Amino acid sequence: MGAEPRGLSSAATDAAAALLGRLVELGVRHVVLSPGSRSQALALVAAELERREAITLHVRIDERVAGFTALGIGRETRAPAVVVCTSGTAVAGLLPAALEAHHAGVPLLLLTADRPPELRGVGANQTTRQPGLFAPSVRFEADLPVPETTDATGDDEQSAMLRAVADEAYAAALGAGLRSPGPVHLNLPYREPLAGDLPEWFGVPTAELGSAGGEHPDGPPVEAPVEDEASGALYQGGGGIGESDLPDAPEDLPFLLERGPRTLVVAGADAGPDAEALAHAGGWPLVAEVVSGARFGRNLVHGYRALLRDPELGGRIERVVVLGHPTLSREVAALLSDPDVEVFALRGPGEPLNLNGATTAVDTVGVAVGDADRAWLGSWLQASRAASVDLSPPAPDPEGLTSAVPEERLGAIAAELSVVRAPLDRASLVDAVWRATWPHDRLVFGSSRLVRVADDVLGGKKVPVHANRGLAGIDGTVATATGIAIASQADGRPGVTRVLLGDLALLHDAGALLLPPAEDETRLQVIVGNDGGGTIFDGLEVAGVAGADAMDRVLYTPHSVRLEQLATAYGWEYHRCTTRSALDQVLTSSAGGRQLIEVPLER
């Protein structure tokens, strides 16, 4: 601001400048903000940081949307985004995203403005007890003292305290010294005046951590397996952040997985490529959920649900090694709950897994020297080939189409038209989206019926996949995908972010469709399988006991929303696709920006 005298000083502004400035120095590159009165100092400092090109600022009127947008940024970059909100119910709106961040191990920084302590519990407007609101879920929390105006240099005790708190909060969000990354809550009480001129000492923050706290151009960092040439063992990182999670030498390895037990590798949500590398090294079959990021490789098992029920395959498993968080099938849950099966779970960024009460948690695993059990793997792969599903549309008949015999030519034309006009079902919908997505894209699955269909029928493909499976809620799906798109497309990087979800998941997060006109457009395709309600309940026990009226009223929750008008209201390009050919054309078109693609489905 130069050396001119300050027109209006504000302790809130001084404190906000010290805190946010230090977070930017540490590596914060994204701030997601919901407007409010008590948080105005934080908002104005964030606006100044954006003007100086120190951060990218995202403004959302709904705190729940803001929280999940920041969550999506954190999922993609593995670095925390900051969320800023005002006091009262605004803070509670961040709870769903904080819970998901806790259970999925996603770094997140929550800065909540508050009334000063003397106004708590006395009936003051827009005031509740915010400290401790996120206590069961956060990696670190602090209810900071009400700030005073700083001196002219910014070297006072208060500024030093705020910078130290920023250091501790940022490190905790990344999981330093803790089990995993996750959410952090700083509660910031301010007295009036709530905004003033920026302090003279506030300069352009310079990142101290370089690329360590910034975005990763190809998505979340994946620790490469480390192979020891002497033993032939593969040392596998546990999915955390930082070099300390990878052993430097064989003595750092807790144990080796010995040859012998009939072993299955299971990859749940966010397992990543490490699961495929471990299965390959051990010569073991790989069961990889479609949200795992590990659904590829020659050991991949197709149609795994039925095979796990097969007594000659699933019934003979002696040992399971789990990476990530499996949530999509009851068969896997039953296997991991079986007390007769030895289960090893690699510690990842999320909640520890222990369904059978005797699971061994490990940071790294290695494969002992020896011959793989080729018969065991072969039996799984043979059954896998028989269970695989080919959803490719039939190829045209070039000879028939060019035949001089009218009957042959007309028959070939009729067959081609039947393919073009074939209506979409759930399997062909998920297949079209899967085939359109490539390594430079991002694919986000909502917690809808479609993710289970995708898990049933889709083959192997190495693409970056995201899903909020920490708590597997339907809330925040569009906002999360928006955050992922923002982060993955930063600095002009190519690719499209596609989110595949059901109609109820879309309507639950419809507010996330609202984006400020001043912010850059993302390449985002929201593909909605619209069957008019929650038909995921068709596969649950309730469908066999509830009457049709009760199912409609309290479970299916049918609606009559016109998605085209919803898209128009929020400024999204709209497409309605009823055939595979039409959907393929929209998915692979070169059009940028935001697209809402509706696919009507049979109930």
Q: Are residues 165 and 298 in the same domain?
A: no
- What pLDDT score does 6 carry? 55
Max avg pLDDT among 160-164, 240-244, 532-536 = 160-164
Q: Report the distance separating Cα 575 and Cα 530, nearest Å.
A: 13
| Residue 465 CA: distances (Å) to CA of 30, 109, 459, 524 | 21, 23, 14, 14
Q: Give the contacts of 537 (CB within 8 A, at least 6 positions apart).
A: 543, 551, 555, 556
Q: What is the dihedral of CA 563, 568, 574, 576, to 10 degrees?
A: 40
Of the candidates 453, 457, 478, the one whose C-alpha atom is nearest the C-alpha of residue 466 is 478
Residues 123 and 254 in one domain: no
* pLDDT at 218 exceeding the cut of 70: no
Rg (CA), the chain: 26
SS3 361: strand
Do the beta carbons of residue 165 and residue 16 sit within 8 Å? no
Sign of CA dihedral 415, 416, 417, 422: positive
Does residue 219 lie in a domain region?
A: no
Report which DSSP code applies to 28: -
- 399 or 313: which leads in pLDDT: 313
* Lowest mean pLDDT across 178-182, 216-220, 568-572: 216-220
Last residue of a domain, one of 149, 183, 213: 213
Q: Tell me which of 165, 186, 213 is where a domain ends.
A: 213
203 and 340 in a single domain? The answer is no
Shared domain for 483 and 583, answered yes or no, is yes
**pLDDT of amino acid 422:** 81
pLDDT at 430 over 90: yes
Q: Match 């999204």 to its residue by tokens.
A: 572
Share of the chain above pLDDT 90, in %: 71
Model confidence at 229: pLDDT above 50? no
Read off the pLDDT band of 207 (50, 70, 90). low
Whether the per-residue pLDDT at 314 is higher than 80: the answer is yes
246 Cα distance to chain centroid: 23
* Orientation of helix 11-26 relative to helix 40-51, angle to 10°: 50
Return d(Cα 73, Cα 60) in angstroms, integer. Answer: 14
Judged by DSSP in three states, 322 sits in: strand
Q: Which long-range contacts (CB under 8 A, 24 or more apart) does 392-396 make?
A: 392/431, 393/419, 393/422, 393/580, 394/419
Helix (H, G, I), strand (E, B) or coil at 595: strand
pLDDT of 233 over the 70 cut: no
Judge contact between 98 and 183, C-beta under 8 A: yes
DSSP string for residues in 262-287: -EEEEE-BT--THHHHHHHHHT--EE
pLDDT, tens digit (0-9, with 9 covering 90-100), for 586-595:
999 876 899 9
Only one residue has tokens 């593969």, namely 234
Tokens encoding 111: 């800065």
Q: What is the pLDDT of residue 7?
A: 67
Q: Which of 312, 285, 308, 309 is nearest to 297 (CA)?
A: 285
Residue 477's CATH number: 3.40.50.970
> Comparing 52 with 149, which gets the higher pLDDT?
52
Under the banding of pLDDT at 50, 70 and 90, the label for residue 5 is low
Q: Assess whether 162 and 121 both reside in one domain.
A: yes
Do residues 571 and 479 share a domain? yes
Q: Does residue 418 lie within any of the structural domains?
A: no
Average pLDDT for residues 245-271, to the nearest whole number?
A: 74
**Residue 244 confidence (pLDDT) above 70:** no
Instruction: Identify whether residues 39 and 132 lie together within a single domain.
Output: yes
How do residues 120-132 score in pLDDT, each as one tens digit? 888 888 889 999 9
Span 402-420, average pLDDT? 75
Highest mean pLDDT out of 65-69, 173-177, 470-474: 65-69
In sequence order, the β-bridge partners of residue 83 are 32, 110
Q: Which residues contact 382 (CB under 8 A, 6 or more apart)?
A: none
Residue-range definition of the domain harbouring residue 199: 11-213
- Residue partners of 44: CB distance under 8 A and separation at least 6: 13, 16, 195, 198
What tokens were used for 138? 């956060």
Tell me whether residue 35 is in a domain: yes
Q: What is the mean pLDDT of the chain?
A: 88
CATH number at 336 reads 3.40.50.1220
Distance CA 35, CA 552 (A): 38
- Residue 408: predicted pLDDT: 73
> Average pLDDT in the 510-522 region?
94
HSE (CB half, 13 Å, CA atoms) of 321? 31
* pLDDT score of 122: 86
Same domain for 232 and 203:
no
Nearest partner of 270 among 290, 296, 252, 298, judged by Cα? 290
- Return the closest-CA partner of residue 449 out of 533, 326, 513, 390: 533
260-300 pLDDT tens trace? 999 999 999 999 999 999 999 999 999 999 999 999 999 99
Residue for token digits 């790989």? 286
CA 455 – CA 453 distance, rounded (Å): 5
Q: What is the mean pLDDT of residues 581-603?
A: 91
Residue 399 in any domain: the answer is no
- What's the structural domain count of the chain? 3
Same structural domain, 381 and 268: yes
* Cα dihedral sign, 20-24-28-29: positive
CB atoms within 10 A of CB 452: 20
CA distances from 520 to 78, 424, 434, 491, 514 (A): 22, 33, 26, 12, 13
Number of Cβ within a 10 Å radius of residue 339: 9
Q: Express as a percent the part of the chain with pLDDT over 70.
A: 90
> Is position 122 within any domain?
yes
Q: Are residues 76 and 132 in the same domain?
A: yes
- What integer pLDDT is reported at residue 252 of this predicted model? 54
| Band (583; pLDDT cuts 50, 70, 90) | very high
Where is pLDDT greater, at 175 or 243? 175
Classify residue 441: in a domain, yes or no.
yes
**Structural domain includes residue 411:** no
Q: What is the pLDDT of residue 208?
A: 62
Rounded-to-integer distance, Cα 101 and Cα 476, Å: 12
Q: What one-letter code names the amino acid at 97?
A: A
Bigger pLDDT: 94 vs 551: 94
Strands 81-85 and 140-143: unpaired
Give how far Cα 311 sits from Cα of 306, 308, 317, Å. Answer: 10, 8, 9
Q: At residue 376, does pLDDT exceed 60?
A: yes
Supply the pLDDT for residue 90: 96
Of 1-10, 171-180, 357-366, give the lowest mean pLDDT range. 1-10
Q: For residue 425, give the DSSP letter.
A: -
Please give the distance of CA 242 from its chain centroid, rounded to a whole number.
Answer: 20
Using the predicted structure, report yes or no on whether residue 358 has a pLDDT greater than 70.
yes
499 and 590 share one domain: yes
**138-169 residue pLDDT tens:** 999 999 999 987 666 778 899 999 999 999 99
Is 402 within the bounds of a domain?
no
Q: Which residue has the higher pLDDT, 5 or 131?
A: 131
Last-in-domain residue among 340, 368, 387: 387
pLDDT of residue 517: 92
In this prediction, residue 557 carries a pLDDT of 85
Question: For the residues 576-583, what does the mean pLDDT come to?
Answer: 95
Residue 284 sits in the same domain as residue 379: yes
